[in-house]
Structure 1
Amino acid sequence: MAPQSPIQFIEAALWCTGPFELSYTDPDQKWLIRKDMVSLLQDFPNLSPSMDTYIHDDGTIANLLNAHGTVHISSSSPQVPLTIWLHENYPYVAPIVFVGLTGMAPSPTIHHDHPFVDPSGLTTSPYIRTWQFPRCNLKELVHNLVKIFSRDHPFSYSATSSPFTHSSVVSKEALDRLEGMLHYDTMALRSETDKEVEKLLALQQEMDQQVKIVTAIVQGLKRERWELRDRMARLAKEADVLINWLKVHDPKRAMAMGDDDIDDVFEGVDEESRLRLQCLAADLSIEDTIYALDKAVDEGAMNFEIYIRQVRNLAREQFFHRAMVVKFETSRQLL
């Protein structure tokens, strides 16, 4: 049996019944499909009709007619393989066009950031997006794709010129050129915007770090202020306790004595107790002096070298008094 011609295959596929029946149900629709397919194959003989199962993005399965093969672009660029699926509602719905053929080896790499072909090969040219029957048909669609790909080839290994710069293209082709130029300008602007955003993010991170540092300093100063307030309150409370004790035990003497004889209020029961009391008083007075020296250094009223020298001398004297107190306590425990 002689092989079927493309026209015979189309007619057999469109009017086939049974498990291989296509998803086109209207007889008038089938005649329109036959007419457009025949016209397409006359202008592009490298395309061949075929039928297969197509799965839509929503999961719907349909048996559709398609044309697959290669189209010639120019003598200086490779041919472009195409697969054109006729939607079940064709010609009122645009066909689904893919760059590339199933089972191609090696599979060509789609040009990065191509304005009309995504990485999967799906083609969305302005002609397809503005598809309207009867103004649009398969033959004019492929002619439009050839003009587009001659200015921006879909494969990355092709040697292409600057996209969409031919001055003789008008009407629909001028719209394609304009859209391509806008696409590349948008990509360039997006790249610059991304760089600017990265700089702003880096600046924001630096500012956040500075805010954390300043916040930590402020919190430290607040803690120090509260600690000083607590210490001042404790000292005031201790002073009140001392004044009240003096008033209770010897009110007349406490009122009459001056700064020179305030120490005579406290009397030891023996010589050892008196010496121990003097050592404790000297220890506390040295502690207060060291605290006063700390404040003087913080306020810049004293040189740090002088501060170290004074603290060292006071610490040595304080150690002597504390050792004497420990000695008195040890001797008392032995007795």
Structure 2
Amino acid sequence: MAMAAATGTVVLVDAALAPYEHPDLRWLVRKHVLAVLQDFPTLSPSVDTYTSDSGASAVLLNARGLLTVSPALPPVLLTLWLPLEYPYLPPLVYVFPAAPPASLARDHPFVDHRTGRVRQTLPYLEDWAVPRSSVAGLVRSLVGALRMCHPLTSRFGSVVHATATARATTTTTPTPEEEEQERMHAALLDELVSRLGRDAAAFRGHVDEDIHALSSSQGNLRARADAMDRAVRDLEGERMRLERAVTASLSHRGELLSWLHKTSCAPDDAGAALLLAPHGAAGGDAPRWLESKASELAMDDTVDALGRALEDGERVIGFHEYIKRVKVLAREQFFHCYAASTSMSKRSPPPDATSPLI
């Protein structure tokens, strides 16, 4: 009967290992599974669908059953899932309470109380390597760790303590198995203390590095803030200087426009008299005077047009361009005005100024 059960187990394991990624190592996987089933007869193999935290699912070989941590402690329900990459990846181990009222303890060093998964902090899982690591060795290490720190809640502590006290009163001499368990407890405790010390030292070193990096970043940020404050102050001073320059330019523009308006509206009696005079009164300089006077008036019209363009804003003409053109026009207007006045001075004098008195 036992031979038939063993044969059925081997057939089940061989069929379940068909989709695994390392066909050359199926013999090693079969050896590990049969060894853990032999060392822990309460476990039984099966094939089920495993769903990871990311939502991916796969059909995996697993072994589950009650695991007795210690005669004085209540058993737990253990489930071992062999990933498709086994033996290069360790098994996925889950621990659950065997009785429904029980629950997992919070802040357990090895078991997550929300999912029941055994963390990588278990030394055997953390140091998993091929070919020295196996499923049976993992379960033995888990038994020792859970015996030292049981995953169930503290309400089972009174029962455990009472059982241990009863055993202590009835048994005075420790058995070799208990001595071996005590030595295993001491070794696990020393290993945990050393790992905690190394982790604390590494964490302290990382904290010091982070503090130094943050201090350097804080100094750089302060220097940048000072530079930005200086730049803002400089820009504010430049803005005030530009405002004063614009105010002065607008004042000069108003004065210039007022002068141009007065100049363009002033009557020219001499020119009108010359235009009304007969052709022979001015002699041969009349055409020159007319041309100069026309050019002078054209300059006035051009300056008025520039003034209107400046009033429309700098989209048409800028202030500096306006001043430049006005200077050129004023210079040309001066020459035309001078030519006109010269032409008027060259006219023949009136008879009462040149003829002798009779």
TM-score, with normalisation over the residues of structure 1? Answer: 0.45
Question: Larger Rg: 1 or 2?
Answer: 2
TM-score, with normalisation over the residues of structure 2? Answer: 0.43
More helix by share: 2
